[in-house]
Amino acid sequence: MFQELESVLARTLGELMLARSEAGDLRRKCDVYERGLERWQARAKMLQKQIQDMNIVMKKYITDVQAESDENAGSSKKKKTPTPLKITRSVGLTVNLVTTKVDAHTCELNW
């Protein structure tokens, strides 16, 4: 009777330890994937901003070229190409703290 109870208890404790270690591994993997997701979202946001800026520049350039061609339609002057619009940004200092060797390795590969 006690041996059966002892074997059931040992088996149950073994299963519990195995489940906890698997849950810990899955939690660590989830944390790594969440950090990766945050990096990709930040990069996507940056690229989206660049595309919006490029769209503004191209629209302005196209309207300037069309306006220039309308002005010079009747004259035989040398056509002057308009200068593209420059978008300036204030850029702050970005600091990335690398806490582990794994983070340093993934940062090198992704950037």
Q: What pLDDT does residue 111 have?
A: 46
List CB contacts of 60: < 8 A, sequence separation 6 or more.
84, 85
Six-digit token pair at 13?
A: 């404790």
pTM: 0.53
pLDDT tens-digit series, residues 29-64: 999 999 999 999 999 999 999 999 999 989 998 998
Q: How far apart are CA 46 and CA 53, in angstroms?
A: 11
User: 10 Å Cβ neighbour count for 77?
Assistant: 8
How much is the average pLDDT of 70-86?
70
Q: Are 89 and 53 in contact (CB under 8 A)?
A: no
Q: What pLDDT does residue 9 have?
A: 87
Q: What pLDDT does residue 68 have?
A: 82
